Amino acid sequence: MRSIHQDFKVHFTYNIHFTEGLFSLQNPLLVDTLKQSESPGPYKVLFVVDSGVADTHPQLLQDIAAYTTHYADAIRSLAEPVIITGGEECKNNTAYLNKLLQAVNNYGVCRHSYLIAIGGGALLDLAGFAAAIAHRGIRHIRIPTTVLSQNDSGVGVKNSINSFDKKNFLGTFAPPFAVLNDSHFLLTLDDRDWRAGISEAVKVALIKDEAFYQEIKNNAGRLAKRDMAAMQDLIFRCAEMHVEHIGGGDPFEMGSSRPLDFGHWAAHKLEQLTNYKVRHGEAVAIGIALDVTYSKLIGMLSEQECEDVLQVLTDLGFDLFIPELADGLNSADNRLSILKGLTEFREHLGGQLTIMLLSKIGKGVEVHQIEEELVTHAVQQLKQRQYAKSLSGIH
């Protein structure tokens, strides 16, 4: 028998910048970012823009055109920005992926060009996936426009679309060239999208940093009232903790552990059960509430700490129960539909089931089995809590 052994390492590096007015002619951040490339300029770019962002920022396309004209010695725009429907729809329909790949082909976007995506997390997932598979990988820059994408999904290394009725079934691990967070985009978010991204900060604080959790708790009123300074601090710390984790051990998720998906096994299934009418961050808040309550029921977390977390989520404006969470209880087998998410969660990684729960605020603990009966009890407790909240007139 003869064998050849191959062993090599690939180094990845990228920066996450925080700014205001990215396309102001007085702001050179985008140009300076492109100049970090080893290639000589001018740098060929193709912008892809979330349709919702284009609608709420009607001057954006003109600002991009003015910016690229002003910095023409450094930026060569290959075409008008490609407008793609935002939200989960763009990940559910492969026509949007094909449209983007067609543009990459038609406009000659090469491996030394840049696909610059402006939008929410779903659009960034789609654009990153297209960039990863075109020419076996072209450079992409993310410009997240929501709280959720600025503090979580947009700063990581994952890209994907949905397929076979499963969230993120097709995807890649492909780090961006850079991430540029512009807080001006947050000003036009509706209250649901402003709030939704906060759940990811609660998530990472609960499993890793009690001090950050206490900061969120203390600022819950300011955050709910759209205080920008409080939100900027939250986004920065949340993004910082996410990238610290990604770079610290298993960035491409080769193992069965996925602690940053605390609360997500139920959230992903809940999104599907609602036909994606519930926002990802809203589903994560419910998933956190479910896993926190379950942690209490199995004796891992104290009653006091469980109630503290549920109250913080409520103070931030989240509903912790929606009817779809209890879907299946009146079926023939009386089994929650949400429990199918456990199987899908395990399949997504392979290996044994690994779920993050809480032993205390700031400390996550991995378990490898879930008692379905106690999950049902947890759902019933959240339903009762939501019912009591509605009776008391709390909004």
Tokens of residue 343, six digits: 């199987």
Tokens of residue 278, six digits: 């519930």
User: How large a percentage of the chain has pLDDT more than 90?
Assistant: 83
pLDDT beyond 60 at 395: no
Q: Phi and psi (nearest 5°) for 149?
A: -80, -30
Q: Which residue has the higher pLDDT, 154 or 247?
A: 154
CA atoms within 13 A on the CB side of 157: 17
Q: How confident is the model at residue 38 (pLDDT cuts 50, 70, 90)?
A: confident
Q: Using one digit for the tens of pLDDT, what is the confidence trace for 215-237?
A: 999 999 999 999 999 999 999 99
CA-closest candidate to residue 259, choices 272, 246, 268, 271: 246
Query: pTM score, two decimals?
Result: 0.91
Q: Which residue has the higher pLDDT, 351 or 173?
A: 173
Q: How confident is the model at residue 19 (pLDDT cuts 50, 70, 90)?
A: very high
Q: DSSP string of 207-232?
A: HH-HHHHHHHHHTHHHHHTT-HHHHH
Tell the CATH topology of 15-188: Rossmann fold (3.40.50)
Q: Using one digit for the tens of pLDDT, what is the confidence trace for 97-154?
A: 999 999 999 999 999 999 999 999 999 999 999 999 999 999 999 999 999 999 998 9
Architecture of domain 191-392: Up-down Bundle (1.20)
pLDDT at position 46, please? 98
Domain layout of the chain by residue ranges: 15-188, 191-392
Cβ-based neighbours of 3, under 8 Å, separated by 6 or more: none
User: How large a percentage of the chain has pLDDT more than 70?
Assistant: 98
Q: Using one digit for the tens of pLDDT, what is the confidence trace for 257-305?
A: 577 789 999 999 999 999 999 999 999 999 999 999 999 999 999 999 9
Residue 21 region by backbone torsions, left for phi larger than 0, else alpha for psi between -120 and 50, else beta: left
**Bridge partners of residue 46, in order along the sequence:** 115
Q: Using one digit for the tens of pLDDT, what is the confidence trace for 145-197?
A: 999 999 998 999 999 999 998 889 999 999 999 999 999 999 999 999 999 99
Tokens of residue 22, six digits: 């990215």
Q: What is the 3-state secondary structure (H, E, C) of 28-73?
A: CHHHHHHCCCCCCCCEEEEEEEEHHHHHHCCCHHHHHHHHHHHCCC
pLDDT at position 245, please? 84
Cβ-based neighbours of 177, under 8 Å, separated by 6 or more: 14, 33, 37, 114, 139, 140, 141
DSSP one-letter code for 81:
P
Alpha-carbon dihedral 223, 228, 234, 237, rounded to 10 degrees = -170
pLDDT at position 343, please? 84
pLDDT beyond 70 at 393: no
- Please, what is the average pLDDT of the chain? 93
pLDDT beyond 60 at 93: yes
CA atoms within 13 A on the CB side of 359: 6
Start-to-end CA span in the chain (Å): 71
pLDDT at position 203, please? 96
| Burial of 10 (C-beta count, 10 Å sphere; 0-12/13-18/19+) | exposed
Round to whole Å and give the CA distance between 296 and 292. Answer: 6
Contact 313, 394 (CB under 8 A): no
Q: How confident is the model at residue 256 (pLDDT cuts 50, 70, 90)?
A: low
